[in-house]
Amino acid sequence: MTENRLPSYGGQAVIEGVMMRGAHTVAIAMRSPEDEIVIHTEDLGQVYQGKAAKTPFLRGLVMLWDAMALGMRALTISANVQGDEDEQIEGPALYLTMAVSLGFAVVLFFLAPAAAGHYLGDWLNLQSAWVTNLVEGIIRILILIAYILLIGRMEDIKRVFRYHGAEHKTINAFEDNAELTPEVVAGYSLEHPRCGTAFLLTVMVFSVILFTLIGPIDSILMRFLTRILLIPVLASVSYEYIRWTAQHLDSPFVRAIIKPNLALQHLTTAEPDLEMLEVSIASFNAMRAKESEFSVL
């Protein structure tokens, strides 16, 4: 697949729905408590249209913002559709939720493994920075898998994972030029090479390499600081890797190296029913309709 043919479409499962993002717009389709499909569309901000979004490595930072801010906004909109008027999340409460969520993710996936690797290295008297960083990386990946398995036991999250599967199937069907009906889309794969789950695993693996290149760090505080400051670097490199593999899926080598990413997706996706697929297709069609408005400008 050539650079100019790489699809710009992406998605995310939300509460009882799916968000689909294009180059200029985003659409969120949700199943309301009244069993109606509610659709919300809006234009993306200028950050998605500027040079940074098209510049190698810088565009990874845009995608990091996409995962945090746009993803949280979509989750909030879907939660508000499911809740009563007095349960709406907005304003300061929304920003506080975003800050707490981001802080929790940094502590769980970066600081906790860094501390574990640091003290475990001291306890085992490990002299090699490569070995201690490898231990830290393994702990980080195990925490990610354990976290996914743990939250996947919750009934609400199980439904989110099924909508995640619906999102993948819809995009796969579109990229195969198939008719977007629930019955047709249902036959497509749950796996997709540009999935956010694949991005997370790639970040974890690349963190081992990057943190090893830094060398030994005796101070736990400096270890924490380097892990936090290098998150944007990891996001940028990981995004370029995911993008490169998506462009070269016809290569047996690429198909081999992305197998761990595809395998991990089976923990965050599940088979959707036809009603879930209907919602996902509605989201994709709404996004495409909005995108067409920009193509004629």
pLDDT reported for residue 21: 92
Tally the domains of the chain: 1
3-state secondary structure 36-63: CEEEEEEECCHHHCCHHHCCCCHHHHHH
pLDDT reported for residue 3: 37
Q: How far is CA 166 from the centre of its chain?
A: 15
What is the C-alpha to C-alpha distance for residues 188 and 175, in angstroms, rounded to an integer? 11
Q: Is residue 85 part of a domain?
A: yes
Diameter of the chain measured on Cα atoms: 65
Q: Which of 242, 278, 3, 227 is nearest to 106 (CA)?
A: 227
- From the number of C-beta atoms within 10 Å of its C-beta (0-12, 13-18, 19+), residue 284 rates as buried
Q: How far is CA 232 from the centre of its chain?
A: 15
What is the C-alpha to C-alpha distance for residues 194 and 125, in angstroms, rounded to an integer? 40
Q: Which of 30, 36, 26, 37 is nearest to 13 (CA)?
A: 30
pLDDT reported for residue 62: 80
Bridge partner list, 43: 25
| Dihedral pair phi/psi, residue 80, rounded to 5° | -65, -30
Domain enclosing residue 79, as ranges? 8-295
pTM above 0.85, yes or no: yes
pLDDT digits (tens, 9 = 90+) for 98-130: 788 889 999 999 999 999 988 888 787 877 777
DSSP, collapsed to helix, strand or coil, labels residue 122 as helix
Q: Is residue 212 part of a domain?
A: yes
Show Cβ contacts of residue 286 under 8 Å, excluding neighbours closer than 6 positions: 20, 27, 29, 39, 41
Give me the amino acid identity at 199.
Answer: F
What is the C-alpha to C-alpha distance for residues 192 and 10, in angstroms, rounded to an integer? 10
Question: Which residues in the chain come in under a pLDDT of 50?
Answer: 1-6, 297
What one-character-per-residue DSSP string does 258-276 give?
THHHHHHHTTT-----HHH
Q: Is residue 3 part of a domain?
A: no
**Do residues 213 and 233 make contact, with C-beta atoms less than 8 angstroms apart?**
no
- The token pair at 23 is 């180059």
What is the C-alpha to C-alpha distance for residues 140 and 241, in angstroms, rounded to an integer? 19
Q: Is residue 76 part of a domain?
A: yes
Show Cβ contacts of residue 260 under 8 Å, excluding neighbours closer than 6 positions: 201
pLDDT reported for residue 94: 66
pLDDT reported for residue 233: 92
Q: Is residue 2 part of a domain?
A: no
Q: Is residue 272 part of a domain?
A: yes
Q: Is residue 224 part of a domain?
A: yes
pLDDT reported for residue 240: 93
Q: Is residue 16 part of a domain?
A: yes
pLDDT reported for residue 67: 73
